[in-house]
Amino acid sequence: MLCRHYTQFLHKHDKLGHPLYFEKIGSINIPQLKKVGVTQDALFKHYLFAMEFSLKYAAHQTCPCDACASSETQKMCIVLDARGIGMRDMGGEAFEFIRRCTGAMQRHYPQRSFKIFIVNVPSWFGMAWKGVKPLLNEATRAKTNILTESETAGALLKYIDADSLPVEYGGTCSCAGGCETNSTYQRLQRALVQSVLERKPFESEELVRAISLERSGTNQEDSDGHTTTDSIGSPVLTPTSRGSTKRESSSTVLDQLFRVGLVRSPGRSKS
């Protein structure tokens, strides 16, 4: 239900190995979310969970690009899709949610973006951008690219291989079950949430292995489960090289979710 009115997903990697994070800011429908009981606070906590998941399970390896090496962090390549956004959205609850998320990124994840692409922007977006720019620090503004629909595919393909970019953005990838909901990262996220709900260990070996092979461009049949290096010389994470990832205790995962308020502690009052 949530993804119908607010779409965000991790999907493969760019040419340098940065995880790709997509968010359809034009899809945010606060009134519809309220109708199904999702408050803006709950939506914000969902956003924080998505960021924490991204950092722990996607952006946890450094790559040799200058940006990651200088900050000693692994960054994400971020695509924000403005298709469908209207002028009145820029002054309503959807904009307030975007402003809140932007503030969190500035405060808590200031060095985690490699490039930011705001794509499929409408013709009037330049006026709205003047109001958004002051919310961003200078470094973030410098790495942000504003692209019309006709400019989107060409700009993204400079940084992302066609087979890693969903068809709707000019690439050739069409994951079985849909890139938005069934990329390997999204299946890993669902497995994490399911393990929490069922109070079971987080079994992620197969999916972590699949992600590592995607990042390295290696066919699963060619992999022996050991640490290798990818085409850009970075270590490729496999279950053998990082065994602690494949099975975490439910309590460890729950602690992370309690922290952002997505799961209520069994000992906490419901009042």
Q: What pLDDT score does 1 carry?
A: 56
Report the pLDDT averaged over residues 31-37.
88
Beta strands in 63-185 (DSSP E): 76-81, 113-119, 144-146
From the list 191, 241, 190, the residue with the least C-alpha distance to 216 is 241
Give the whole-angstrom CA distance, residue 187 versus residue 169. 21
For residue 64, name the pLDDT band (cuts at 50, 70, 90). low
168 Cβ neighbours under 8 A, 6+ residues apart: none
DSSP secondary structure letters along 163-231: GGSBGGGT--B--TT-HHHHSHHHHHHHHHHHHHHTT--EE-HHHHHHHHHHHHT--GGG--SS-EE-T
pLDDT of 223 strictly over 60: no
- Give the lowest-confidence range in 126-130, 199-203, 228-232: 228-232
Q: Give percent above pLDDT 70 in the chain.
A: 76
- Give the lowest-confidence range in 72-81, 98-107, 216-225, 240-249: 240-249
Name the pTM for this structure: 0.76
- Give the lowest-confidence range in 65-79, 153-167, 172-186, 252-266: 252-266
pLDDT of 104 strictly over 50: yes
Is there a contact between 245 and 239 (Cβ–Cβ < 8 Å)?
A: yes
- Give the lowest-confidence range in 45-49, 230-234, 260-264: 230-234
Alpha-carbon Rg for the chain in angstroms: 19
Q: What pLDDT score does 62 carry?
A: 66
Give the whole-angstrom CA distance, residue 168 versus residue 150. 12
For residue 217, name the pLDDT band (cuts at 50, 70, 90). low
For residue 146, name the pLDDT band (cuts at 50, 70, 90). very high
> Mean pLDDT score of the chain, rounded to an integer?
77
DSSP secondary structure letters along 20-62: EEEEEGGG--HHHHHHTT--HHHHHHHHHHHHHHHHHHTS-S-
Q: What pLDDT score does 103 carry?
A: 83
